[in-house]
A and B are shown apart, each in its own frame.
Chain A
Amino acid sequence: MTTILQPHPIHLIPSEDEPEIILDKAKNILRFSGTSIPEDPEKLFKPVMNWVDKYIKSPNPETKVEFAMDYYNSSTARFFAEMLSKFEELNERAGNVRIIWGCKKDDVVMLERGEDLQAIIQIPFEFITSE
């Protein structure tokens, strides 16, 4: 019998320059929020990418990737795109992947960022704006 290695949950505590990241398969939470202007984006996102690689090998029946970012820089944008392309593969293979893009109603910048990602990633996006 093959045992598929389950990815351990990740919970990165937010700071002035790093976002809060929760990746928990058991609780079915995949969430990114806050600000991301890290000094070393590679170091921050490498464990995230590894987690996603493991997750897409044994995903939950439904996958919801949530974003509630206040601000992120261009190097973070590249990582988000690369990460979402992994979920795109999963969606092509198994379906049932959604992206929830949350931002403030008047936050045109974050809304546009979501639309940019939506334009290049073939996964259904839902935009949720709050007051």
Chain B
Amino acid sequence: MNWFDFQNIYSIIKNDHLCLLYRGDFADEITVRLIDLSDLQFQGPSDRINMRKKVAFLMAECFQNVIRHGEIDHFEVGLPQQAGFFMTRNISGDYYIASGNLIEKQYVTTLKEKIKKINQLSPVELKDLYMKVLGTEQLSSKGGAGLGLIEMARKSGRKLESFFREINDTLVFFYLQILLGVVDNNVLRVPVDNHSILKSVELNELLKQNNVIMAYQGDFRQDSILPLLNMINRNIHNIQTENYLYKTIFHVLVEILQNIMHHGYTYNDKREGIFALAVTQDKFNICAANYVENDKSLYLKEILEKFLNHSNGELKNMYKQILREGPRDENGGAGLGLIDIIRSSSVLPDYKLIKIDDTKSLFYLNVVI
């Protein structure tokens, strides 16, 4: 992803406690992993258990929504860019969950009416409607009778947000966003600009322009890295069958994500960072950014400059030398991982180290494989 778009995305999500953006395959295993990843936010007191369950439920419902109504295969209709979209953001304990998928234009009016109606009802009326639909209405061929929407509205206690973007004469990209707030459910809050559905649309547009299939912002620790790797693994397997390239991408990802985990700036016991994976027909692009302590930033700049100014042959020799002699110091593998990343790249990686304040700098790395 280019630095400009990266900054645009970053400016929207930088204060999120967690942000997960995903475009692509919604197979069961992937959706389970997405829920796992979101679930990691809840390791605190048990009084949040209801919120935890609700978030998991609403995520699952959103996936169902994409799968059930997203049977229009974006590849088949010649719109490879219009992949299904999923987003979850935790902003100070408010959970925003959004999905997006192609639907046929003929359903738009009905859908808009359903959402409008649901948004006008009180919790009691919603419950009545739910029971009525459950008891009387037949399941449509798509397996849904608006029950999903009603359930989402009931669990959320807020208005459903929707947005319809016309793609062509017959297809529309339908966005749906729900909010699960920590405050009193009876108090309706107007979503501020940074969290409104239009921001989610903007995020998806930015991801789409850059062919990003996944982006994550949050704490980088082993139990968040593993579900990320697992999801990506599955996605790359679908796209890339050549073992060499597949392994190389996986390796670069592991090194980048674990680098953030081991060397990122720690604040409130968290190592926060952001990463995005983009896929085009013949290239994979990984970019990541995280804070590092200013001292580490100097070290990082020094070894990056050293490595970037050597040919692949020279790097191979340096790699062997470090492998043989170490040392395994507090700076990690003494740059082995960075050499691997540079050697795996098809063009020289681009990096930036920007001093933020007296203690930390922002480290941005962009790698193309």
A75 & B323 in contact (Cβ 8 Å cutoff): no
User: Which residues of chain B have C-beta atoms less than 8 A from A73's C-beta?
Assistant: 251, 254-255, 258, 337
With both chains docked as a complex, state the minimum distance between the C-beta of B315 and any C-beta of chain A, in angstroms: 12
Q: Is B117 positioned at the interface, with any CB of A under 8 Å from its CB?
A: no
CB within 8 Å for A74 and B222 given contacts A82-B326, A106-B243: no
User: Which residues of chain A have C-beta atoms less than 8 A from B243's C-beta?
Assistant: 104, 106-109
A78 & B319 in contact (Cβ 8 Å cutoff): no
User: Which residues of chain B have C-beta atoms less than 8 A from A120's C-beta?
Assistant: 320, 323-324
B333 & A75 in contact (Cβ 8 Å cutoff): yes
Picked from B230, B248, B332, the residue with its CB within 8 Å of the CB of A75 is B332
Interface Cβ pair total, 8 Å cutoff: 68
C-alpha gap A116/B322 in the complex (Å): 11
Q: Is A56 positioned at the interface, with any CB of B under 8 Å from its CB?
A: no
What are the interface flags for A74-110 relative to B under an 8 Å C-beta threshold, 1 for contact and 0 otherwise?
A: 1101100110010000000000000000001011111
Interface of chain A residues 35 through 93 with chain B (CB within 8 A): 37, 39, 42, 71, 73-75, 77-78, 81-82, 85
A71 & B250 in contact (Cβ 8 Å cutoff): yes
A78 & B320 in contact (Cβ 8 Å cutoff): no
With both chains docked as a complex, state the minimum distance between the C-beta of A71 and any C-beta of chain B, in angstroms: 7
Q: Is B247 positioned at the interface, with any CB of A under 8 Å from its CB?
A: yes
Picked from B230, B258, B323, the residue with its CB within 8 Å of the CB of A78 is B323
A71 & B247 in contact (Cβ 8 Å cutoff): yes
Q: Is A1 positioned at the interface, with any CB of B under 8 Å from its CB?
A: no
With both chains docked as a complex, state the minimum distance between the C-beta of B317 and any C-beta of chain A, in angstroms: 10
B255 & A81 in contact (Cβ 8 Å cutoff): no
B320 & A116 in contact (Cβ 8 Å cutoff): yes
Counting contact residues on chain B (CB < 8 A from A), the size range is 20 to 34
Q: Is B226 positioned at the interface, with any CB of A under 8 Å from its CB?
A: yes
What are the interface flags for B322-335 relative to A under an 8 Å C-beta threshold, 1 for contact and 0 otherwise?
A: 11101010001110
User: Which residues of chain A have C-beta atoms less than 8 A from B320's C-beta?
Assistant: 116, 119-120
What are the interface flags for B249-287 relative to A under an 8 Å C-beta threshold, 1 for contact and 0 otherwise?
A: 011001100100100000000000000000000000000
Counting contact residues on chain A (CB < 8 A from B), the size range is 20 to 34
A17 & B333 in contact (Cβ 8 Å cutoff): no
C-alpha gap A120/B317 in the complex (Å): 10
C-alpha gap A79/B333 in the complex (Å): 10
C-alpha gap A117/B336 in the complex (Å): 13
Picked from B244, B255, B261, B337, the residue with its CB within 8 Å of the CB of A108 is B244
What are the interface flags for B229-253 relative to A under an 8 Å C-beta threshold, 1 for contact and 0 otherwise?
A: 1100000000000011001101100
Q: Is A16 positioned at the interface, with any CB of B under 8 Å from its CB?
A: yes
A17 & B222 in contact (Cβ 8 Å cutoff): yes
What are the interface flags for A6-44 relative to B under an 8 Å C-beta threshold, 1 for contact and 0 otherwise?
A: 000000000011000000000000000000010100100
User: Which residues of chain A have C-beta atoms less than 8 A from B322's C-beta?
Assistant: 78
Picked from A16, A17, A74, A82, the residue with its CB within 8 Å of the CB of B255 is A74
User: Which residues of chain A have C-beta atoms less than 8 A from B230's C-beta?
Assistant: 16
Q: Is B340 positioned at the interface, with any CB of A under 8 Å from its CB?
A: yes
Residue of A nearest to B335 (CB): A74
B222 & A81 in contact (Cβ 8 Å cutoff): no
C-alpha gap A126/B320 in the complex (Å): 19
C-alpha gap A123/B261 in the complex (Å): 35
CB within 8 Å for A109 and B323 given contacts A17-B226, A37-B258, A74-B337: no
A39 & B222 in contact (Cβ 8 Å cutoff): yes
With both chains docked as a complex, state the minimum distance between the C-beta of A70 and any C-beta of chain B, in angstroms: 9
User: Which residues of chain A have C-beta atoms less than 8 A from B328's C-beta?
Assistant: 42, 75, 78, 82
Picked from A16, A82, A104, A107, the residue with its CB within 8 Å of the CB of B226 is A16
C-alpha gap A85/B250 in the complex (Å): 28
Picked from A77, A85, A106, A117, the residue with its CB within 8 Å of the CB of B333 is A77
Provide 23 A-B residue pairs closer than 8 Å at the C-beta atoms, listed in order of the A residue. A16-B230, A37-B254, A37-B258, A39-B221, A42-B328, A71-B251, A71-B254, A74-B337, A74-B340, A75-B328, A75-B333, A77-B323, A78-B334, A82-B328, A104-B243, A106-B244, A107-B243, A108-B244, A109-B248, A116-B320, A117-B323, A119-B320, A120-B324
Residues of chain A at the chain B interface (Cβ within 8 Å): 16-17, 37, 39, 42, 71, 73-75, 77-78, 81-82, 85, 104, 106-110, 116-117, 119-120
Beyond the given A17-B222, A75-B337, A109-B248, please list 15 additional residue pairs across the A-B interface where CB-CB is below 8 A: A16-B230, A17-B226, A39-B222, A73-B251, A73-B254, A75-B258, A77-B323, A77-B333, A78-B328, A78-B336, A106-B243, A108-B244, A108-B247, A109-B244, A116-B320
